[in-house]
Amino acid sequence: MTKIPDYLEKEQVDELLQAAKTCSERDYLLLRFMWRTGVRVSEVINVTPNDIEFKNGVVNIRKAKGGRQRRVPLDEETLKMLSDYIFALNIPEDRPIFSIKRTQVFNLVKKYGNTAGLKIHPHTLRHSFAINLVRGGTDLRRVQLMLGHSSLSITQVYLQFNDNDLREAYEKVSF
């Protein structure tokens, strides 16, 4: 099994988001969106208001890797922030919400990571999203669908657990 190269604990993600929140609404919302959906950089820069089903709480990832499409749920609070942001900037339905280039996303993640004392890259948020889902009890098939993996074997890497995860599971068992 391949080892997950890097991921953040929830507290570390909170530190990253807080670093962005103090500087820029767009940067904060972009990073929060990536954390809450597990999207790749190439996907987040292509999401338009048309791709978000606000009533259903779902984001349609249309320009995904390999030409595949998928639907990813998104929490109400982030949806509300997105709605307000889109309205405030009057973003057309067919234009990207985050008018930003790939390299800028990499630079933002690095910048706020450094501010929070973390050495990370954008894919770290994707790994963190997946690990968080698995730790929360989401079955692997659903994690696969949300990440848009073509094969369940690719998603299995997220079944790795740290000692605290194992201890927590062990303590739930009554011997």
Per the annotation, the verdict on 127 as an active-site residue is no
Closest CA to 123 of 41, 43, 59: 41
By C-alpha distance, which of 54, 55, 51 is closest to 71?
51
Catalytic residue (one of 7, 28, 36, 40)? 40
Nearest to 21 by CA among 108, 131, 90: 108
62 is known as an active-site residue? no
Q: Is 121 a catalytic residue?
A: no
- Is residue 123 part of the annotated active site? The answer reads yes
- Catalytically annotated residue among 10, 65, 101, 141: 65
**Residue from 21, 63, 110, 123 carrying the catalytic annotation:** 123
Catalytic residue among 28, 85, 112, 158: 158
CA distances from 165 to 2, 134, 152 (A): 19, 11, 22
Catalytic residue status for 85: no
Active-site residue, selected from the candidate residues 32, 36, 70, 126: 126
Q: Which residues are catalytic?
A: 40, 65, 123, 126, 149, 158
